[in-house]
Structure 1
Amino acid sequence: MAWTYNTTDPDAPTIGHQITGVAIALTVLSFVTVCLRTYVRAFILKAIGFDDWVIIITWVAAAGFAVVTIVQTRWGLGLVDMEDFPSQNMYNFNILQYIGAPFYISSIFGFKLALLTSYLRFIPKGGYRYLTLGVIVSCFLFHLSFLLVQLNLCQPAAKQWDYSIPGKCLKGVPFYTSMASLTIIFDVTAMLLPFPVLLKSQIQTRKKVVLLGMFGLGLFITIIQIIRIQTVKRLVNPIDSAPLIMWSTVENNLGIIVTNVPTLAPLIKYFNERSRAGNTGSRTRGTGYPKEVGSRYALQTWRTGKSKGCEKLDSINDMDLGSIEGNTSKDANNSTEFILDGGITKRTDVVISRE
């Protein structure tokens, strides 16, 4: 069965499979980061905020764009040769292209909005905070104008998916090129905006380098935008939009991932501490050391008469030895020292006897 509907050649070359695979893989990966971010903010820090809700909505928009893109590949997106494109597919192809635009524009605006509003948590009051608010407003106005022009690229708008309707359209290549260029400016601004504040902050140098490195990952989005501009310049017929749409899917999902990465630090620290605590607990229980070392904090009560044997008491850390009544003797020869992991652990057996 051919991947493209209505095609006369079932073996017509297409990259629809690759576009579908990229869309699914990146959408799932970005979904995982959104879930982890939500868990950190809502359950670990218990401080879910506006930017967290924004990134959730942004992922919904990115997922919507991925779904439209996958469906569009069945109607001809990805075909290599225009000769293989079925003419009866043109209407559905164009209307899916029109539907996908709002999802894409909303998603690329959403991750920048989430990133910019998250900066307000650590940017102090003053001129730099007002600058951040100004960037947020400018970013909103730009993407809103992008959306409005995109939806009304033709007059009437229905001419974008039905070529038989009389009317006129703006030239697509100059419009998309200018919009992509302005998007690069806002991407770079959003990623680099916190750098002056972080460089002047009093946090540890190691943490500062990590934070700057994570924000620097956002520069990859700029590279993707440059690649998209090159694909825009090659638009001649409808199927030439396949590389452009595929890179758009990469861009919005990668933006979501990069925005979520800095918020996952508490989760990494949490599991790191649990791992260390687990290692310490396992050593205490004797999983990493000889059996007698694991019970070095146990007190044993020896009883005479009919009942013989020993009985473990509570940990020495939980008991007040000064309150123990009876004759207590400590044998210095029973004191054992172990050199473990570069340190010294001392075990002292305490025996309580009854006369």
Structure 2
Amino acid sequence: MAKNENGKADIVPADNAEVTGTSVVAPDAFTNPGLPPHRPRITDLDPKAAKRAERVVYGLFYFSIAASVFAVWAYMFVPIEPENVHSVRMNTLYLGLGIAFSLLAIGIAAVHWGKALMADKEAIDHRHPVRGSEETRARAVEIFRESDEESGFSRRTLIRNGLIGALIAFPLPAIALFRGLAPMDVDPNNELKHTMWKKGLRLTRDPQGTPIKASDLTIGSAFQVIPEGLVDLPEHEMLNAKAKAAVLLVRLKKEDLNWTSKERESWSYDGIVAYSKICTHVGCPVALYEQQTHHLLCPCHQSQFDIANECAVIFGPAARPLPQLPITVDDEGYLIAQSDFTEPVGPSFWERAK
């Protein structure tokens, strides 16, 4: 036996052995114990127990459906009174309980289904190449059939229908919540078409509310703009109005502006153009201006708009150009709006015709 420099014996494994820590273990030192004896479940032995488990599973699925419907009902009909915090808490509580019980019931039912009713047998999955032979592919189809038979998905119709119904009902509260983001008593398309801007209204700096003269803008400068009088509104009205009326004001060289329609040539003044700050993708504020390229960048999803070409979309998921606010100057040289936007501002909702 060889010794190392510390005077201790080195362990030299045999040709057919492996070193494990400081011990030498031969490959045949242990035998494979195999799988433990199969222990049948009570639902495998007692048909009545299996029937009870089945009732529990589909009962939970139908309970999930009822909880989803309850969440939608709570969102729509539990009243929220102005300046009443308790009513807000109750609405939120009922809505949260409905969604929570809906998802919880699906999870418990799925686990109980798998543990009590699906086929219970031990198996070994052997690895194989990703692309199998035709025989393997045919066997895969057969396995799906066997899985369907073992799970009872096709045979246990109440469980199957309950699962399908629960999965269909569960997203309903989310749909109701997202729909509630838009006004319920008006047409969203028409609501976003009209803002606070009107003929003769001055453009003012955000957030000070001071009027802007055309001479205040130099080539390449960009101002965030709000309508005159916006800052004098009550806070909740101001925020709602600003969310639709916010504008980015930019001055370019007149020769850099390219117009595809004659009408738009009169919407600018001496190279000064005004476009909505609300991205037409999902409504994020478009605020990053690249002076050299004349591009506007939305920081949320990287949509880019070309100010020199009517704010056309040149990159990203936005579906349409930023709406332009027609502007001119009054007798005192202050920039004013010629009218409101001529098209809806904000994201292109699914119910809006592009």
TM over 0.5: no
Greater radius of gyration (CA): 2
Q: Tell me the TM-score normalized by structure 1.
A: 0.23
Report 1 or 2 for greater relative contact order, CA contacts < 8 Å, sequence distance ≥ 6: 1
Q: Tell me the TM-score normalized by structure 2.
A: 0.23
